[in-house]
Amino acid sequence: MTTLNWGIIGLGNIANSFATYFNQPDGRIYGAASRSLDKAQTFADQYNIPHAFGSYAELLADDHIDIVYIATPHNYHFESIIASLEAGKHVFCEKAITMNRRQLNAAKALAAKKNLVLAEAMTIYHMPLFTEIEHQQVAQQLGALKSIQVSFGSYKELDSSNRFFSPALAGGAMLDIGVYALSFARRMMTAKPELIATQWVPSESGVDQQSTLLLNNAHHEMVTVTLNIHAKMPKQGVLVYENGYITVDDYPRPDKATLTFPNGRVTTIAAGDATNAMNYELHDFQEIVRGHQPNDTLELSSDVMDIMSAARAEWGFVYPFEKRSDLN
């Protein structure tokens, strides 16, 4: 089987995790790119990557690279996605995959035109635990999914000079942690959700500090999402079925969940290994590139982006480099 060569664009913390945990027998990290050749070379030396590039354009010009992993801050994702697709590369992009609905629709259209694979690096879509939960829903006769409660709170100092509260760097709770909460909900729902209601509290810098969202879909699966980047909350999702509920802690990379029956009996659902989360998504992406499985997670990402854009449109929150029409 031909080995797939990966190139990394953006060499921050998440790229270090990617290089540390990358373990694909039919794939390898071929090159790493930064706007500084010294930084790229240091990164390449640290992880035994054979090629370092002093610009993103140089990496994209290398015909040996099959897949580009984009690990830049999310306000730079769109330009790197478009450049990578134009260069004929498949694209695996960190979350949030783009800033808004307009950008993602444009990227999807270009990927389709070029017959290339585009997907978001969202571990939630690939963790074996969620498939096992669906199996247990049937095996335990839990009945239909009725509602989902999901929260994510992360305490960040109220400092507009850091990226979490900077409008210029696309700060705010929605694109930083909201994408996880909404992806969890979308992964478990059986039909696309619509935004029913939302409220928010802006920070002094103007980005979203706190918000709640209410979703519903054609199957009457109701969702409440609570977000905050100035208060710690559990990364917890609760799936409520007719005949029991399932609690998933640390849902971005879970390998265990708790099933509670109406009579109070509790059992554990387990599948996969949280420490291998990144490799589940890397494996699946390579299988999509090879044509062995469909690219169905891109539509989940698209549904999530629609919700995030709709919520920001409802709030009237647009970043300085956006237009209100980008959210519609």
Task: Give me the mean pLDDT over the 243-257 stretch.
Answer: 98
Quote the mean pLDDT of the chain: 97
**HEC profile of 227-281:** EECEEEEEEEEEEEECCEEEEEECCCCCCEEEEECCCCCEEEEECCCHHHHHHHH
Q: Are 199 and 271 within one domain?
A: yes
38 CB neighbour count, 10 Å cutoff: 10
Task: Give me the mean pLDDT over the 298-320 stretch.
Answer: 97
pLDDT in tens, 119-145: 999 999 999 999 999 999 999 999 999
Q: Are 315 and 269 within one domain?
A: yes
Report the candidate in 174, 170, 203 with the shortest Cα–Cα distance to residue 307: 174
Task: Give me the mean pLDDT over the 195-216 stretch.
Answer: 97
- Tell me, what's the pLDDT at 328? 87
The whole domain housing 38 covers 4-121
Residues paired with residue 260 on neighbouring β-strands, in sequence order = 245, 266
274 CB neighbour count, 10 Å cutoff: 14
Cα–Cα distance measured from residue 128 to residue 313, given in angstroms and rounded to the nearest whole number: 34
Q: Percentage of the chain with pLDDT > 70? A: 100
Q: Are 136 and 103 within one domain?
A: no
Residue 87, pLDDT above cutoff 80:
yes
Look at residues 100, 121, 142 and tell me which one is the last residue of a structural domain: 121
Full-model pTM: 0.96
Residues paired with residue 68 on neighbouring β-strands, in sequence order = 7, 91
Q: Are 211 and 304 within one domain?
A: yes
Asked if the peptide bond before residue 109 counts as cis, ω within 30 degrees of 0, the response is: no
Residue 183 · residue 122 · CB < 8 Å = yes
- Tell me, what's the pLDDT at 78? 98
Q: Are 134 and 93 within one domain?
A: no
What are the distances in angstroms from CA 82 to CA 128, 187, 189? 31, 26, 30
- Residues 187, 269, 286: CA angle, nearest 5 degrees: 45
- Tell me, what's the pLDDT at 158? 87
Task: Give me the mean pLDDT over the 254-258 stretch.
Answer: 98
- Tell me, what's the pLDDT at 72? 96
Q: Are 161 and 108 within one domain?
A: no
Look at residues 93, 121, 149 and tell me which one is the last residue of a structural domain: 121
Report the candidate in 163, 190, 191, 188 with the shortest Cα–Cα distance to residue 177: 163
Q: How many residues does the chain have?
A: 328
Ordered DSSP codes for 118-148: EEE--GGGT-HHHHHHHHHHHHTT--SEEEE
Q: Are 111 and 129 within one domain?
A: no
Tokens of 30: 């071929």
Residue 107 binned pLDDT confidence (cut-offs 50, 70, 90): very high
pLDDT in tens, 139-171: 999 999 999 999 999 999 988 788 899 999 999
Amino acid present at 295: N
- Tell me, what's the pLDDT at 108? 98
Edge to edge, the sheet with strand 194-202 lists 194-202, 208-216, 222-228, 145-155, 230-241, 244-249, 256-260, 266-270
Residue 179 binned pLDDT confidence (cut-offs 50, 70, 90): very high
- Tell me, what's the pLDDT at 1? 63
CATH of the domain at 190: 3.30.360.10
CATH of the domain at 69: 3.40.50.720
Residue 223 binned pLDDT confidence (cut-offs 50, 70, 90): very high
Residue 4 · residue 29 · CB < 8 Å = no
218 CB neighbour count, 10 Å cutoff: 10
Residue 269, pLDDT above cutoff 90:
yes
- Tell me, what's the pLDDT at 114? 98
Report the candidate in 12, 30, 123 with the shortest Cα–Cα distance to residue 73: 12
Q: Are 311 and 162 within one domain?
A: yes
Q: Are 170 and 47 within one domain?
A: no
Distance of CA 312 to the CA centre of its chain: 18
Q: Are 249 and 276 within one domain?
A: yes
Residues paired with residue 152 on neighbouring β-strands, in sequence order = 227
- Tell me, what's the pLDDT at 138? 97
Q: Are 194 and 89 within one domain?
A: no
Quote the number of domains for the chain: 2
Look at residues 101, 121, 141 and tell me which one is the last residue of a structural domain: 121
Q: Are 112 and 146 within one domain?
A: no
